[in-house]
Amino acid sequence: GAVVSQHPSWVICKSGTSVKIECRSLDFQATTMFWYRQFPKQSLMLMATSNEGSKATYEQGVEKDKFLINHASLTLSTLTVTSAHPEDSSFYICSASEDDEQYFGPGTRLTVT
């Protein structure tokens, strides 16, 4: 089946620094990738939808200048959390879409100290 990977799995950074999270579709080409934030034991909140070669579409309330998304190729999308604050500490999950199916990555746990 289709596999989506994320790197890194865990990251700890200091307040004010930037962190980049990669999302890769390993065995298929994904024209669309999604970035989610998971609140503890709760819902996945859709942050943005990225299409290869174009600007990402952000959900209401998500700061596009803080959460930079780049979908440079059909197999890679990156999420950069800029000037991270402790409240950005969370579990970030990406998914990649092939035809009508959506495949989820294992997530990246970000802790900002």
Residues that bind another protein (CB under 8 A): 1, 9-10, 34, 36, 41-46, 91, 93, 100, 102-104, 106-107, 109
CA distance 97 to 34: 8
CA distance 49 to 59: 8
Considering the complex, state which of residue 44 and residue 68 has its C-beta at the smaller distance from another protein. 44
Smallest separation (angstroms) from another protein to the CB of 13? 17
Considering the complex, state which of residue 65 and residue 100 has its C-beta at the smaller distance from another protein. 100
Considering the complex, state which of residue 82 and residue 109 has its C-beta at the smaller distance from another protein. 109
CA distance 65 to 90: 18
Smallest separation (angstroms) from another protein to the CB of 17? 22
Residue 36: closest CA among 67, 9, 1, 2: 67
Considering the complex, state which of residue 46 and residue 68 has its C-beta at the smaller distance from another protein. 46
Q: Which tokens hold the place of 9?
A: 């799995």
Smallest separation (angstroms) from another protein to the CB of 44? 5
CA distance 56 to 77: 10
Smallest separation (angstroms) from another protein to the CB of 51? 14
CA distance 33 to 56: 9
